[in-house]
Structure 1
């Protein structure tokens, strides 16, 4: 399993992603977007950061980079694709997943730890957890508020495509536990295939024991479930 961590101008979590994946025993390499995907790519991570300085909208310019055509084609073939933070914004902007991530309700950058409830435990990205389990994960974003129309949100719920919701430490999904005003407290969701997912919290920053949190490791095992203990 080799995961391509796609680096755009302004990406700043690509090295974090590689280090976290390698810590779990998953081969990973940074790939500059202009070079395209390796022919033997087996997984794709769209990392966090500020691609193109969040010009226009966060993720909007990166979503139109030629490499994203390759990413979408790979996703259609079942290659696991995970978008984190700015990568989640890119994922939505490129229609890997529905909806959009917009300016936080607070209208400011927020860098803190939050709690997220696992809504499904039967996907590659959540099989390491129990349904209803509460994770503690870091966020660092100014445009992390998930927005979607009412009818499309209803479709997400009906099709069980919501992976994580912001909650309190006891798993209660409340307005107070929602750090950015996301519709339905959504913190992560699936694409049309369960092998494609995006989330705003950073699992790679909650994988290395030295950082004090390891709750995010289970998400990254979605690239290679055989390594999950």
Structure 2
């Protein structure tokens, strides 16, 4: 599987993703600088990593959405290349209109950095086929703007089309307001595009993809993509 990680000024999870991709696929990803519009033609997966692209000036992901490389990402998405946006990458995908909705300030207006529980809402995706339906997993979050919002038609479309991939929940899998760390609409933690080839999520699967990191719940996401695309 050929993959690339888009690197912006302020990205700080690009190397984490690269290590995980190399470990899972046996092949190091291309580290693609944001100023270069010409991505390799043979890519199977493009990852937009977490961090603080362009220092989060204007809005999180707003400046990165206009980077030269994002034109290449859009063209790749149109061809059906798998796109994964993690945390700031999710924000960039929304700002680029590759995913609907927006990520706003957390409900309590504070940066949150801790592990959370997620319920896998659908396994009918190349990203989650390796999980069990309704499986509860643990992943870290680290964000100030993870409060997902969308208008009612978008919310209904996401629900009706089985495009809500992860929801924040408690350890028993119950979706509650208490388990919602940031005020996100309907406890949404990750969503798919209409094509089901673009996934954005706020939690960091790459940070729990190796036993040495304290857990492997995130590894199945990368294995799922590799198996789907290999």
Bucket of the pairwise TM-score, normalised by the shorter protein:
over 0.9
Between 67-76 and 24-33, report the one with greater CA deviation: 24-33
Which residue number corresponds to residue 12 of structure 1? 12
Distance 1:226 1:186 in 2: 24
> Superposition pairs for residues 138-177 of structure 1, below 5 Å?
138-177=140-179
More deviation in 151-160 or 162-171?
151-160
CA contact under 8 A between 2:147 and 2:185: conserved in structure 1?
yes
Deviation string, structure 1 residues 114-173 (Cα, Å, up to 9, x no partner)? 000000012101100011000100000000110111221011111111000000000000
Give aligned pairs, total: 228
Deviation of 1:38 after TM superposition, in Å, equals 1.9
Which residue pairs with 1:129 in the alignment?
Answer: 131
Q: 1:224 is paired with a residue of what secondary structure?
A: helix
Does the Cα contact within 8 Å between 2:85 and 2:200 map onto a contact in 1? yes
Cα gap change, 1:175 to 1:126, in 2 (>3 Å): same
Paired position in structure 1 for 2:60: 58
User: How is 1:1-229 mapped onto 2 (pairs within 5 angstroms)?
Assistant: 1-27=1-27, 28-36=29-37, 37-225=39-227
Q: Considering only aligned residues, what root-mean-square deviation do their CA atoms show, in Å?
A: 1.3
Q: Indicate if the aligned counterparts of 1:3 and 1:26 stay in contact, CA closer than 8 A.
A: no
The TM-score normalised by the length of structure 1 is 0.96
Runs (4 or more) in structure 1 with deviation over 4 Å come to none
Distance across 2 between alignment mates of 1:101 and 1:226: 29
Q: Distance in 2 between matches of 1:26 and 1:125?
A: 18
Confirm or deny: 8 A CA contact 1:118 1:132 kept in the other structure. Answer: yes
Displacement of 1:26 after TM fit?
A: 4.6
Q: Does structure 1 retain, via aligned residues, the 8 Å contact 2:126–2:228? A: no
Gaps in structure 2 of 5+ consecutive residues: none
- Describe the shift of the 1:4–1:87 C-alpha distance in structure 2 as closer, same or farther (beyond 3 A): same
Contact 2:44 2:229 in 1 (8 A): no
TM-score (norm 2): 0.96
Structure 1 gaps of 5+ residues are none
Q: Kindly state the Cα deviation for residue 194 of structure 1 after the two structures are TM-superposed.
A: 1.3
Work out whether residues 99 and 193 of structure 2, in 8 Å CA contact, stay in contact via their aligned partners in 1: yes
Query: Which deviates more from structure 2 when the two are superposed, residues 13-22 or residues 147-156?
Result: 147-156
- The secondary structure found in structure 2 opposite 1:205 is helix
Check whether the contact 1:221–1:227 (CA below 8 A) recurs between aligned residues: no
